[in-house]
Amino acid sequence: MSFYHVKKKGRLYIREGGHMKPSSNTADMTKGSPVRLILTFSVPLIIGNIFQQFYNMVDSIVVGNFVGANALGAVGACGSLNWLFFSLSSGLGIGIGVIVSQFYGAKRFDKVSETIANSFYVLISSALVVSILCYLIAPAVLRLLKTPDDIINDSITYMRTTCLGIVAISLYNGVSSILRALGDSKTPLYFLILSSICNVLLDLLFVISFGWGVFGVAFATILSQALSAVVSLFYAFKKISYFHLTKKQLKPDFLIIKNSYRLGVPIALQSSMIAVSCVFLQSIVNSFGSTVVSAYTITNRIEQLINQPYNSIGTALTTYAGQNIGAGDTERVKLGFKKSIGIIAAFSAIMIPVTFIFGKNIAGLFVKETDVINLGASALKITSVCYFFLGMIYIPRGILNGCGDAGFAMINGLAEVFCRLVYASVLTKIPKIGFWGIWMTTGLTWLTVSIVCLIRYASGKWKQKAIRTN
């Protein structure tokens, strides 16, 4: 395999095997300080993930303030279900990113392009199936989950509308995963900022000006998602040489497709099973009435935001571990694991007092109803004491995913399902606990699953799970 440098329009390119890649768009995470690399990689991810959650938060704030608490509950009742269906398609993007990162770490740049070409067959076909399924079963599933009668129609409208954006989400997540696998975490951020601004403007237009209510919020979301997909694809094919695909590369490679599903499906099922457990918990939440549903929606939105640094560190570790395991350096993978624990601990130490002190102020951004605000603020105090354990799920999970430990991903998902099912079923039935058991379940689930993840990492089985890169 030969490499040489060429100049094109003032930029440095590296030619390998007949095609070029701009060196400025990639980052080699097999060299340099792990802390610096992980933090540098994570910061754009954190900002990007915050903007991603901005979609949901703006939807909730607009609905809660301009439509009403019941409409907010309708949006919240769909949250876990939407996560379930989105996870089925977006998880495949993560698996594809793992393959790309390992080939990149092994300096198999020819295989990087082949993986990208075949990724589109995987992403589009899977997303179409999931989107159709979501649309068809939405009413039945929402009724099965005991969604309150006063919000059921709005919930169906919101879920059916948002599911139409699954293809766009899948394509955006796929391109973003590939860019991150190559060490570029900044570019996807720009796409998210653009789409988030678009979402805010369309929310205000459709809900306040047009009076479209819940449908307007959902329609604004899918239009913004479509924008992010189109812009990311345009950028990738124009600027990233790995996306300059030949006819030969576009020919389906069933080994790559197989590996994409082998890694992506377990990761997708992991997220989906986690979503299933949240759907189960949502059904219990719904049984306590609209006030509890609205409070739970608020705490979910807030904690989804707080969750982003943990998630971003985990995503950074997936790329870091993928590149380093592809290069055969397991010791460097373990070093990244140790350094990441300190980062997680520091962030947790900051966020716990923030939620205790400013919980009411934050909850008040979503609704005007005092009872909902007070309930949400008290609930945040229960879950916040377990934030560190939430972070300790993402660290080993990120490394295990990056190393291709696909089998454990499903075990991890099952652990969350089991914990939420058991804890919620027991705690909410205790008279003196009641609906408070919903939030106690969340904290105890984080604690238990973190232990499961750490046990798997400590076993060292992830060292033998990398794909063959030679």
Mean pLDDT in order along the chain per 10 residues (470 residues): 36 40 64 90 83 68 77 75 74 87 86 90 90 90 83 88 90 91 88 86 89 88 91 90 84 85 82 76 85 87 85 91 90 94 92 89 84 89 92 93 84 87 92 91 94 93 76
175 in any annotated domain: yes
Spatial distance between the Cα atoms of 284 and 428, rounded to a whole number of angstroms: 8
* C-alpha dihedral, 143 to 89 to 409 to 25, nearest 10°: -140
Give the tens place of pLDDT for each residue, 214-238.
Answer: 899 889 989 998 999 999 999 998 8
Spatial distance between the Cα atoms of 238 and 232, rounded to a whole number of angstroms: 10
Domain housing 346: 3-464
43 in any annotated domain: yes
pLDDT for res 259 = 84
42 in any annotated domain: yes
pLDDT for res 454 = 94
147 in any annotated domain: yes
SS (H, E, C) 119-182: HHHHHHHHHHHHHHHHHHHHHHHHHHCCCCCCCHHHHHHHHHHHHHHHHHHHHHHHHHHHHHHC
* C-alpha dihedral, 415 to 416 to 417 to 423, nearest 10°: 100
470 in any annotated domain: no
Single-letter residue type at 155: S
Side by side, the strands of the sheet bearing 19-22 are 3-8, 11-16, 19-22
Q: Nearest CA to 69 among 270, 338, 370?
A: 370
285 near 148, Cβ under 8 Å? Answer: no
DSSP state of 463: G
pLDDT for res 53 = 65
pLDDT for res 341 = 94
Those residues with Cβ within 8 angstroms of residue 239's Cβ, 6 or more apart along the chain or in another chain: 22, 25
469 in any annotated domain: no
360 in any annotated domain: yes
Single-letter residue type at 226: A
205 near 259, Cβ under 8 Å? Answer: no
Spatial distance between the Cα atoms of 385 and 369, rounded to a whole number of angstroms: 26
Number of domains in the chain: 1
pLDDT for res 18 = 40
